[in-house]
Chain A
Amino acid sequence: MGLYAVTVIGRDGPGAVAEITRAVSGGGVVGDSSMSLLSGHLAMTLVVSAGQSGDLLSESLTRGIPGLAVTVTDLTPPPVISPAAAGTRDAAPSSSPASAEITDTDPTGISYALTLHGPSGSDALPATTGLLAEAGCAVTSMTTRVAGNLFVLVADVELPAQADVASLMRAMAAALDGYRIAFRPADPAVM
């Protein structure tokens, strides 16, 4: 089984999402997915476990959902060869399960929801993500919206346990004059 990321982008219309999910489900088993309208255009990403090659999956989807741009990216983890078997000629590589999740966020990190809003048309997005990266933050989810001349960014970020949140906020306030920036703790309450 291979693991693939299928991205579909194109003009939105009645039944478009149903058409995409029907076609993708016909080629494999859909795992995580997300869909949104970006400036009125449909953008959908689906992680699919499929028994066929990425090329065949791509061909069938391109035929199945004409008019939409489809890209298939192979996410299948490379085979892992155990050290003991690495020297033997007939060692069969053991592959990780196709549905394996990759989680590389710091389990001791602190979750925050970052919101930022202000004028559109500037470099607020790269400036924000650059400062987050410099502080060692992992962005786990992000949405930006533009309405008129208003730019809005909302991001879920994981800060390293030792991160200096106050310094990061000061740096962002200095670099993003004219923007409202807020960090709120977002660790879920476990019931």
Chain B
Amino acid sequence: MEVDSRTCLIEGVVTAPHSLLVTPAASVDPADAVVPAVVRHLVGAMRSMPGCRGLTAPQLGVGWRLMCLDVSGHPSTRSCSGELVIANPEIVEAADWDVAREGCVSVPGLAADVARATQITVHGVRPGTGEPMTFQADAFEARCVQHQIDHLDGLLFLDRVAGTRAVHAVRKGGQAA
């Protein structure tokens, strides 16, 4: 794959502890010529990992505000926008918090109970065209979006656990957001 020297895409995903996972990502120019290659890699990586419902550029070694998700087929999914790729996403409305257990491909072996809004509105832009986009998500899709945006803000789900009994060892597989 040809990528710009500004990016440093890796094979697989970055796992904690890693500085990229605790560093806020920079806004990305959606029209940058390198963006389509990064998007292809991002979506391909998400599809290649069983159980992975979303992924961000920092998890692939690129400190850009770029994320993708696809919650199709998950049993907790209500709203479903299919495969989404968003640049510079921002939550503009959030309501109705609920606690559920989540894991992450960048934190293998652990899961935690985390409170998230179950209804959100997100603004962002489409990579490539820069066209503004707004969408609503609820239930599992809303949780997945918030998990990914946390990555872009340099946060892991471990930073949001409710208490000492909220972190769990994952013995087998597990759902990764």
Whether A142 touches B22, Cβ cut-off 8 Å, given contacts A118-B17, A147-B108, is: no
Whether A178 touches B108, Cβ cut-off 8 Å, given contacts A113-B163, A143-B164, A154-B166, is: no
Whether A119 touches B163, Cβ cut-off 8 Å, given contacts A145-B169, A147-B107, A147-B108, is: no
Instruction: For A150, give its contact among B17, B159, B166 (CB under 8 Å).
Output: B17
Query: How many B residues touch A, CB cutoff 8 Å?
Result: 19
Chain B interface secondary structure, helix, strand, loop or mixed?
loop
Q: Is the CB of A148 within 8 A of B158?
A: no
Tell me the bound Cα distance from A180 to B108 in angstroms. Answer: 17
Instruction: Determine how close the nearest CB of chain A comes to the CB of B83; give it in whole angstroms.
Output: 29
Q: Is the CB of A152 within 8 A of B164?
A: no
- Chain B residues with CB under 8 A of A163: none
Determine if B162 is an interface residue (Cβ-Cβ < 8 Å). Answer: yes
Q: Which residue of chain A has its CB nearest to the CB of B162?
A: A113
- Chain A residues with CB under 8 A of B107: 147, 150
- Chain A residues with CB under 8 A of B108: 147-148
Instruction: Determine how close the nearest CB of chain B comes to the CB of A149; give it in whole angstroms.
Output: 7
Q: Is the CB of B16 within 8 A of A141?
A: no
Q: Which residue of chain A has its CB nearest to the CB of B168?
A: A145
Determine if A155 is an interface residue (Cβ-Cβ < 8 Å). Answer: yes
Instruction: Determine how close the nearest CB of chain A comes to the CB of B118; give it in whole angstroms.
Output: 19
- Chain B residues with CB under 8 A of A141: 163-165
Interface residues on A, range: 20 to 34
Q: Which residues, 16 to 43 on B, are CB-close (under 8 Å) to A? A: 16-17, 22
Determine if B122 is an interface residue (Cβ-Cβ < 8 Å). Answer: no
- Chain B residues with CB under 8 A of A145: 110, 167, 169
Tell me the bound Cα distance from A180 to B17 in angstroms. Answer: 9
- Chain A residues with CB under 8 A of B159: 115, 117, 180, 182
Whether A148 touches B109, Cβ cut-off 8 Å, given contacts A37-B169, A119-B17, is: yes
Determine if B46 is an interface residue (Cβ-Cβ < 8 Å). Answer: no
Q: Which residue of chain A has its CB nearest to the CB of B21?
A: A180
Tell me the bound Cα distance from A37 to B91 in angstroms. Answer: 37
Tell me the bound Cα distance from A107 to B123 in angstroms. Answer: 44
Instruction: Determine how close the nearest CB of chain B comes to the CB of A33; give it in whole angstroms.
Output: 13
- Chain A residues with CB under 8 A of B80: none
Determine if B94 is an interface residue (Cβ-Cβ < 8 Å). Answer: no
Instruction: For A152, give its contact among B110, B162, B165 (CB under 8 Å).
Output: B110
Determine if B15 is an interface residue (Cβ-Cβ < 8 Å). Answer: yes
- Chain A residues with CB under 8 A of B166: 154
Tell me the bound Cα distance from A178 to B19 in angstroms. Answer: 8
Determine if A173 is an interface residue (Cβ-Cβ < 8 Å). Answer: no
Instruction: Determine how close the nearest CB of chain A comes to the CB of B51; give it in whole angstroms.
Output: 16
Q: A-contacting residues of B (Cβ < 8 Å)?
A: 15-17, 22, 107-110, 156, 158-159, 161-167, 169
9 more contacts with CB within 8 A, not counting A147-B110, A152-B167, are: A115-B159, A118-B17, A145-B169, A150-B109, A154-B161, A154-B163, A180-B22, A180-B158, A180-B159
What are 14 contact pairs spanning A and B, CB under 8 A? Answer: A113-B161, A113-B162, A118-B17, A141-B163, A141-B165, A142-B164, A145-B169, A147-B107, A147-B108, A147-B169, A150-B16, A151-B17, A152-B167, A154-B161
Closest A-B pairs by Cβ, 3 of them: A147-B109, A141-B164, A143-B164
